[in-house]
């Protein structure tokens, strides 16, 4: 079992839709979670990060962590064609990580006009 699992999709939605992207993780010691966005032929860029359980909101994006079920989600409201990208969840190992992030496989999202 991979430490972080993510449905690769692809996911196609119309503009304006609410998008839900999800990951599950296996190690209950994980405490920090991140979402990276990767446009085609580009490197991933950090979109949001959360610590522990609960929600974190940033504009149209909301990151949610449910530690009891080891489930993390990213919601995109009012999705735009410019949101079309691959979204990767990631987490560092417990303790000092030195950038050793474990990534999910990434979900390919297409928002069509």
Partner 1 sequence: DTAVSQTPKYLVTQMGNDKSIKCEQNLGHDTMYWYKQDSKKFLKIMFSYNNKELIINETVPNRFSPKSPDKAHLNLHINSLELGDSAVYFCATGTTGGWGEKLFFGSGTQLSVL
Q: Interface with partner 1 by CB under 8 A: which residues?
A: 8, 31-32, 34, 41-46, 49, 51, 86, 88, 92, 96-101, 103, 105-106, 108
Residue with Cβ nearer partner 1 (30 or 83): 30
Contact between residue 106 and residue 86 where contact means Cβ atoms under 8 Å apart: yes
Smallest distance, Å, CB 103 to partner 1?
4
Residue with Cβ nearer partner 1 (41 or 113): 41
Residue with tokens 């929600």: 55
Distance CA 31, CA 61 (A): 20
Distance CA 72, CA 64 (A): 6
- DSSP-derived 3-state class of residue 102: strand
Residue with Cβ nearer partner 1 (99 or 113): 99
């Amino acid at each position: 079992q991979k430490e972080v699992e993510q449905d690769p999709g692809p996911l196609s939605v119309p503009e304006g839709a609410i998008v839900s992207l999800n990951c599950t993780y296996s190690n209950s010691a994980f405490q920090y979670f991140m979402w990276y966005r990767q446009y085609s032929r580009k490197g991933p860029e950090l979109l949001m990060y959360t610590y522990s359980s609960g929600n974190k909101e940033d504009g149209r994006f909301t990151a949610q962590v449910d530690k009891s079920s080891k489930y993390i989600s990213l919601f995109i409201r009012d999705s735009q064609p410019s949101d079309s990208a691959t979204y990767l969840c990631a987490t560092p190992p417990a303790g000092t990580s030195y950038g050793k992030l474990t990534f999910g496989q990434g979900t390919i999202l297409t928002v069509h006009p």
